[in-house]
Amino acid sequence: MSASHFIAAASNEKSVSTAAKPSGEAKTFTLNQADPRIAAAFEGINQAQADLLTAGLLPNPQISTDIQLLPLTRVFTVTRQGRPPQFDFNVAMPIDWFLFGKRAAAIVSGEQGVAEADFANTVRIATTISVFYDVLEMQAMLELAHENLDNLARMENIIRNRVAFGGVGTIETDRIRLSIFSSRRDVYACELDLAAALNRFRALLGIAEATSLKVNGSLEVNALAKPLALESAFKWAEENRPDLASLQKQLAKANADIKLEEAKAYPQATPIVGYSRQFQQQAIGFPDANSWMAGVNVSVPIFDRNQGNIGKAKSVYSQTQLNLQAQLVDLRAEIDQVVKTFASAYQFLDSDDPGQLDAAKNVRDKITQANELGGKTLIEVLDAQRTYLETYRVHISGRSSYWHSLYQLNAAMGKEILR
């Protein structure tokens, strides 16, 4: 499994297989399903689409009905007349959304939603890749610690045999035992570090069960990616960073919100048409009559002209502009740091002598063989072993730092530029 599997957009299905559960059934998690933070951010898109749908809906008509002028203390007759009872049925439909462009302004504001850009930024900053390489590094360190412990254990057997035959003093046994105790502590420490990295990785994958998990991969670098110039990396970031796109969309939405609030300042206009039925026959002796009516209700914006919301929308626009400027300043500092970090990791591997590790191993093996023949002391053997151990640790850390810094640079630019 390569790390590129984890930098793809969350819409692409990437999977991680876990070890078989006690039931013998394997379970596969997709990246979309895996990280609850990504799934939660994805819901923001659904919410933004729902807001846009709401903004485009026409207002509902209003229906009112009543019956009035009913007799209270006596029945109305021709000889004892009263106002004829009347039944009304009215329908009102607001039209200010059309007359003053309120609905169109609301749709434009809804279309400027930033949920998708925010979701993409959540995916960008997900730490899955970093933890992936943390696990690989801890696995390599644990393997090295076990190798060192095995070598010291073999050396202890040799020393015990030589002490038994009187070839060396018992102090040699004490020295090797102290080295073994130290090596075992290194193994325990590496096991804890690996367990911590796997737990972080399991959390990012959204695995709640106590399922064993192993990461397959390699820290080896087949071909070094060339470092980027600061301005080139900054240009890539300006074009691809989702958080910048989010702020730019927020700026467009803030501008659309100003127009929306200004449109809301226009009057509310609601035309009304109605039907009336007057029951006159019994009340006044005239035939019952049908009639209709038409009218319009219009608010008069004398005091409340939406001044507060308009002022707030303008303030949000100014605030978003300032946030965008601040983000660009922070972005340059971030890009400068990750570019230098990657360049340092590149220089380390580029200048690293490929034969250094082999040389340290050869020195260790030769001194160990010479010690077995009585030509070298145990202190010289342990020193050679320690040199090999430190050289190998630097080898592992250097390659891990290279991969970490490469994907941090890609993440800072918002796109996988370096491979």
Residue 210 domain-assigned? yes
Within this chain, do residues 352 and 382 fall inside the same structural domain, yes or no?
yes
Within this chain, do residues 296 and 367 fall inside the same structural domain, yes or no?
no
Last residue of a domain, one of 300, 325, 349: 300
Res. 417 pLDDT band, cuts 50 70 90: confident
Alpha carbon 153 to chain centroid, angstroms: 47
Residue 195 domain-assigned? yes
Res. 95 pLDDT band, cuts 50 70 90: very high
Complete DSSP assignment for 319-367: HHHHHHHHHHHHHHHHHHHHHHHHHHHHHHHHHS-TTHHHHHHHHHHHH
Within this chain, do residues 271 and 404 fall inside the same structural domain, yes or no?
no
Dist CA 156 CA 162 (whole Å)? 10
Specify the DSSP class assigned to residue 6.
G
Among 3, 26, 233, smallest CA distance to 128 is for: 3
Rounded to the nearest 10°, the torsion over CA 334, 338, 340, 342 is -170
Sign of the alpha-carbon dihedral angle for 386, 391, 392, 393: positive
Number of structural domains, the chain? 2
**Average pLDDT of the segment spanning 16-44:** 51
Within this chain, do residues 69 and 41 fall inside the same structural domain, yes or no?
no
Dist CA 108 CA 52 (whole Å)? 9
Last residue of a domain, one of 282, 300, 318: 300
Beta strands in 362-417 (DSSP E): none
Within this chain, do residues 181 and 255 fall inside the same structural domain, yes or no?
yes
Res 348 pLDDT > 60: yes
Dist CA 329 CA 324 (whole Å)? 9
Within this chain, do residues 197 and 51 fall inside the same structural domain, yes or no?
yes
Alpha carbon 67 to chain centroid, angstroms: 60
Within this chain, do residues 117 and 201 fall inside the same structural domain, yes or no?
yes
**Average pLDDT of the segment spanning 335-346:** 95
Domain with 88 in it: 61-93+267-300
Residue 103 domain-assigned? no
Res. 66 pLDDT band, cuts 50 70 90: very high
**Average pLDDT of the segment spanning 255-262:** 94
CATH number of the domain where residue 318 is located: 1.20.1600.10
Residue 11 domain-assigned? no
Within this chain, do residues 222 and 132 fall inside the same structural domain, yes or no?
yes
Within this chain, do residues 54 and 67 fall inside the same structural domain, yes or no?
no
Within this chain, do residues 279 and 157 fall inside the same structural domain, yes or no?
no
Within this chain, do residues 138 and 174 fall inside the same structural domain, yes or no?
yes
Q: Which of 48-52, 153-157, 202-206, 381-385 has the lowest mean pLDDT?
A: 202-206
* Token digits of residue 238: 């300006």
- pLDDT value at residue 16: 47
Res. 242 pLDDT band, cuts 50 70 90: confident
Res 356 pLDDT > 80: no
Res. 377 pLDDT band, cuts 50 70 90: confident
Within this chain, do residues 137 and 67 fall inside the same structural domain, yes or no?
no
Average pLDDT for the chain: 83
- The larger pLDDT score, comparing residue 160 to residue 93, is at 93
Among 145, 137, 210, smallest CA distance to 404 is for: 137
pTM of this structure: 0.71
Res 2 pLDDT > 80: no
Residue 24 domain-assigned? no
Residue 23 domain-assigned? no
Among 316, 381, 404, smallest CA distance to 172 is for: 381
Residue 296 domain-assigned? yes
Residue 16 domain-assigned? no
